[in-house]
Amino acid sequence: MSKAQKFKALRGFRDFPPEDLGLREHLFTVWRRVARRYGFQEYDGPPLEELALYTEKSGDEIVGQLYNFQDKGGREVALRPEMTPSLARILSHRSRSLPKPIRWYSIPQLFRYERAQRGRLREHFQWNVDLMGEEGVEADAEVLAVALDALRELGLEAEDIRARVSDRRLLAALLRSAGVPEDRLVTAYTIVDKVEREGRDRILDRLEKEVGLDREAGEQILSLFDSPGLDGVRAAYGSDPEVQGALREVEAFMTVMEELGLGDFLEFDLTIVRGLAYYTGIVFEIFDRKGEFRAICGGGRYDALLERVGGDPLPAVGFGMGDVVVGEILKERKLAPEYAREVDVFIVSIGDELRPLARRLARSLRDRGRSVTTPLRSLSVRKQFQAASAEGAREVLVLGPEELARGAVVVRTMTDGTEREVPLRELAPELQVPDLAGA
Ligand code: HAM
C-alpha cells in the first residue's frame, strides 16, 4: 500500500516536471523570439519589492491579492503581483539617458493571492512588453501587434482569438457626461470593469454608494455597455466634443492595426476597462473567440505612472500575457508541443570489459556538443537497447570486440533500424585504436 503524500505544492502553485516545463519553454521561446523581432530588449527586476510600490500605484483589486509581510528588518515588503510598477521604478531615473523609444520586455514569475480556479493561480509567469517614450497610437498599435504576432506564432489565428479594445479617455468622457465627478473616475472604472461578472443591480448599488450617482445616472452608464460598439457610442454621444476627440483616437488606432495586417483580430468594446488604476488611454484584452477561457493578455497606455513613482514623466504603453491561459488553450487545441525524452547517442557495450571505452567515447562526443548516455551499471545487451529506446536515443553506437578489432563500431539509426560500420577514428579522432588495448 502506498503511503499518503506528506507534502504537496501549495494551492495555486505548480510543479514543473519536464513534460510541463516543455510547454512553458515553448511559450518563452516564442515570446522571446517575437519580442526581439520588434527590437525589444530583455530586462528583469527583484521578485520582492517595497509594499508601498503597489499600495499606491496598482489599485485596490491587486492590493487585496498581495503576498505581503514584514521582513526581519521590520520592512513592509510584497512579492511582485505584476511587473509594471517595478518597470516604472527601474526606469524612473534611468530613462533620461536612454534613446527613445525604449523597448523592453521581461518574463517574471508573479504572485497573487487569488481564489485559485481554472486559468487563475497564485503564481504565474507573465510576458511583459512595454514601449516608453512615444505617446501616439502608432506605439499602442505596435505593442498590441507584438502580442498578436506571438499568439499567431503559437498557432492561434483571427478565427480563434480577438483583441477587445477600448480607451479610458473615451470612457472618461462618457462617464463625465453622465455626471461622474473627476475625483471618482478611477473608482467608477473599477466598478464598471465588473459589469460582466457582477450583474446590473450590484453595479448600480456600487455606483450609488461609491461614486454618488443616482439610479437614473447609473442606468445611463450601463446603457452604454448594452451596445458597446463604436457606432452605438457615436450615435448616442457623437456630438459631445470630448467624446468626438476620444473617438478619433480609437479610430486612428484601428486604422494603424489594419495597416499592420491585424484588423481582423480587433473589436472595439467599451466594456474593456481593465482592473488596474494606472491606465490613461487605449486599453485592450485578448480572449479566445469561443469565450471559454479568461483573458489571455491585458494591457494599455499608462502615461502618468513613471512620474508617479518619482521618475521623469514618460509616456508608456504595454501588456502582460500570462502562461496559464495560453497554455490551457494550446493544450485544448492540440497546439502544445509533444513532450519527448531525447538524447543524440546511446552507447551499448558488448561485454563489461568495453565499458571503460564507452566512457571515453562518451567524453569525446560530449566535448563535441553531442548529448550522450550509456548504462551506469552492467546490463545485458537486450536491456541496454531497451534503455536506449526509453531515453529516446536517435542513434545507438554498439561497441563490440569483433568490429573493434577492425577499428570500427556499429551505428544503428533508431528511427529505421538501419546499421552501418563507422571507423572509431571518425567518431572520436583522439581515441586511437591503441587505446583499445588499455580499454
Ligand atoms: P493583468 O491584466 O493583471 O495586467 O494581467 C495580465 C495577464 O496575466 C492576464 O490577462 C492573465 O493572462 C495573466 N494573469 C494575471 N493574473 C493571473 C493569475 N492569477 N493566474 C494566471 N494568470 C494570470 C497586468 O498585470 C499589467 N501589469 C500588464 C501590463 C504591462 N500593462 C502594461 N504593461
In the predicted model, what is the mean pLDDT of residues 416-422? 96
pLDDT, mean of residues 382-403: 97
With respect to CATH, is domain 343-438 assigned 3.40.50.800? yes
Q: Check: CB of residue 313 under 8 Å from CB of residue 306.
A: yes
What pLDDT score was predicted for residue 2? 62
CA distance 270 to 247: 11
Interatomic CA distance for residues 152 and 156, integer angstroms: 5
Supply the pTM of this predicted model: 0.92
User: Could you identify the atom of ligand 1 that is nearest to the CA of residue 112?
Assistant: 19
Lowest mean pLDDT segment, chosen from 60-69, 79-88, 95-104, 325-334: 60-69
| Ligand 1 touching residue 101 (CB < 6 A) | no
Pairing of strands 102-106, 123-132: antiparallel
Give the nearest ligand 1 atom to 285 CA. 10
Least confident piece of the model among 122-126, 206-210, 343-347, 379-383: 206-210
| pLDDT attached to residue 239 | 84
The pLDDT value given to residue 357: 95
Of 165, 168, 88, 157, the closest CA to residue 128 belongs to: 88
Q: Please work out whether the CB of residue 149 comes within 6 Å of at least one atom of ligand 1.
A: no
Average pLDDT over residues 330-341: 94
Distance CA 273, CA 277 (A): 10
Q: What percent of the chain has pLDDT over 70?
A: 97
Could you please report the per-residue DSSP string of 268-311? E-TT---S-TT--SEEEEEEETT--S--SEEEEE-TTHHHHTTS
pLDDT (0 to 100) of residue 308:
85
Average pLDDT of span 26-44 = 98
Chain segment 193-248, per-residue pLDDT in tens: 888 788 889 999 999 999 998 898 898 888 888 776 788 888 877 788 888 889 99
CATH code 3.30.930.10 region(s) in the chain: 18-178+224-332
pLDDT of residue 434 exceeding 50, the answer is no
Atom 13 (ligand 1): residue with closest C-alpha? 322
CATH 3.40.50.800 residue spans of the chain: 343-438
Instruction: Report the chain's mean pLDDT, rounded to a whole number.
Output: 92
Bridge partner residues of 420 (DSSP):
411
Q: Whose Cα sits closest to atom 28 in ligand 1?
A: 320
Is the predicted pLDDT of residue 439 greater than 50, yes or no?
no
Residue among 80, 141, 103, 156 at smallest CA distance from 325 = 156
Of the chain, the percentage scoring pLDDT greater than 90 comes to 74
Per-residue pLDDT at 144 exceeds 80: yes
Q: What is the DSSP letter of 263?
A: G
Q: What is the per-residue pLDDT for 55?
A: 86
Buried b (16+ CB within 10 A) or exposed e, 291-304: eebbbbbbbbbbbb
Give the pLDDT band (50/70/90) at residue 31: very high
Chain segment 294-319, per-residue pLDDT in tens? 999 999 999 998 888 888 889 999 99
Q: What is the pLDDT of residue 437?
A: 45
**pLDDT at site 238:** 77
Which of 89, 124, 129, 131 has most ligand 1 atoms within 8 Å of CB, for mutation? Answer: 124
> How far does the centroid of ligand 1 lie from the alpha carbon of residue 322, in Å?
6
* Fold that domain 18-178+224-332 belongs to in CATH: BirA Bifunctional Protein; domain 2 (3.30.930)
| pLDDT over 90 (residue 50) | yes
Work out the average pLDDT over 251-255: 96
pLDDT of residue 195: 84
| Predicted pLDDT at 66 | 95
